[in-house]
Amino acid sequence: MSEHRGIMAYSESKDLMLELLGKGSELASKLGTQLTAVVLGHDVEDQARELVSYGAQKVIVVDNQQLKEFQTEPYLSALAQLARKHKPELLLIGSTKRGKELAARLAARLNAGCVPDCLELKVDGKGKLLVERIVYGGNAIVTQIFRGKPQIATIPRRRFEKPEHNAESQGEVIHVSDIQLESPRTEIVEVKPIEIGETRIEEARVVIGGGRGLDKKEDFKILDELAQILGGEVGYTRPLAEDRKWFTEWVGLSGHTISPELYIASGISGVIQHVAGIRDSKIIVAINKDPEAPIMEMADYIVVDDLYEIIPALSKALKRLLASA
């Protein structure tokens, strides 16, 4: 067991990979070990160099025509062989849907433990890794430890900061070619890209959230107006996306997790799954006609009133007050 050393990080998402390097560097220095990034793909030399400038001390590159597009089995087989050969004590995998499946299957192949969607990874006084994640639909945070190695943890997007780019950073780039890649066992029949919005709600300083208290999709224009005045973004709850099909994304445990300076929950009851997605907001305002709505329990400012009256009045007041400030 003790032969396992080092941290290995992999994500097929380039942005998330950099975030893994940020957290990975921190953990590597705490554990007194090295951080290795893995790059899988075809014609990926530039990517490897870039990862060095973002803090990877070593980059292992598997450059192969068969890895041109992400397919689980070839990628999985490459990672499993690298993990068997290099024996990392910790594998950090980006928690996209592809990444979560990859991590679970990798864990099965390596007979290892896997903790998905870690919100925190810490090293205790004895040099042991502690990981935290949300369970019970947002009702609790569980702290777990691993009993063997390798330890596999997946990390959600935008949980940890992207590290500073440093062109001076030194690191070793190793090309590995003696890998047996498995062929894909499923056939991709069709791919329809989803348009991803330009702005990321996770990065907004102010988010105006709308829930079932809004009767029509068009009514969101009053939230849009307030968001515009505050330079923020508008977010939605899951029922508006899933039940009413007005939107394709939502804020909450299963959707976007946000931590803006200000979150204004308008017409949102505050079910625990939604609350889990906004909990880290600095200031939370709840506007709801129902004084008993659970959102009131977790708000800093509570307005028991009709959002159709309050929101436009708030827009007006803020516009005037901010202009005169």
Partner 1 sequence: MVRILVCVKQALDVSQLKVDSATRRLITVDAPKKISDFDKNALEEAIRIKEKLGGELFTATVGSSDAKTTLREALAMGADKAYLISDPAFENSDTLVTAYVLAEAIRKIGPFDLILCGEASIDSFSAQVGPRLAELLGIQLITYARKLGLEVDAVIAERNLEDCIQTVKAKMPVLVTVTNEINEPRIPSLMAIMKASKKEIVIWNAADLNVASEKMGETGSAVQVLDVLAPKMERKKLIIKGETAVETAEKLAKALIQEGVVGR
Site for partner 1, residues 202 to 261, rule: CB under 8 A: 205-206, 230, 242, 261
CB 1 to partner 1: min, Å? 12
Cis amide linkage into residue 150, ω under 30° from 0: yes
Of 30, 40, 43, 33, the C-alpha closest to 7 is 33
Candidates 32, 180, 185, 292: give the one binding partner 1 (CB under 8 A): 185
CB 170 to partner 1: min, Å? 33
CB 111 to partner 1: min, Å? 7
Please say which residue, 128 or 175, places its beta carbon nearer to partner 1: 128
C-alpha distances (whole Å) from 296 to each of 33, 172, 261, 274, 289 are 46, 53, 18, 13, 11
Please say which residue, 59 or 91, places its beta carbon nearer to partner 1: 91
Rounded to a whole number of angstroms, the CA Rg of the chain reads: 23
Calpha distance 209→285 (Å, rounded): 10
Check binding of 176 to partner 1 (CB under 8 A).
no
Neighbours of 123 (CB within 10 A): 15
Write out the binding residues for partner 1, residues 33-92 only, by CB under 8 A: 72
Please say which residue, 142 or 174, places its beta carbon nearer to partner 1: 142
Query: At how many degrees (to 10) do helices 220-230 and 307-324 cross?
Result: 20
Strand partners, 288: 304
Check binding of 303 to partner 1 (CB under 8 A).
yes
Residue type, 104: A
| Binding segment toward partner 1, per CB under 8 A, in 1-9, 14-22, 24-32, 313-321 | 313-321
Helix (H, G, I), strand (E, B) or coil at 24: helix
**How many chain residues bind partner 1 (CB under 8 A)?**
78
CB 176 to partner 1: min, Å? 23
Site string for partner 1, 101-130 (x = CB under 8 A): x--xx-xxx-xxxxxxx------------x
| Binding segment toward partner 1, per CB under 8 A, in 17-25, 49-57, 95-103, 158-166 | 95-103
Check binding of 199 to partner 1 (CB under 8 A).
no
Calpha distance 8→183 (Å, rounded): 24
Candidates 47, 144, 169, 228: give the one binding partner 1 (CB under 8 A): 144
CB 125 to partner 1: min, Å? 14
| Binding segment toward partner 1, per CB under 8 A, in 24-32, 165-173, 181-189, 211-219 | 181-189
Calpha distance 64→62 (Å, rounded): 6
Check binding of 137 to partner 1 (CB under 8 A).
yes
Query: At how many degrees (to 10) do helices 97-110 and 72-86 cross?
Result: 50
Calpha distance 142→136 (Å, rounded): 9
Write out the binding residues for partner 1, residues 268-297 only, by CB under 8 A: 272, 279, 282-285, 296-297
Calpha distance 3→89 (Å, rounded): 8
Residue type, 322: L
Candidates 29, 141, 164, 174: give the one binding partner 1 (CB under 8 A): 141
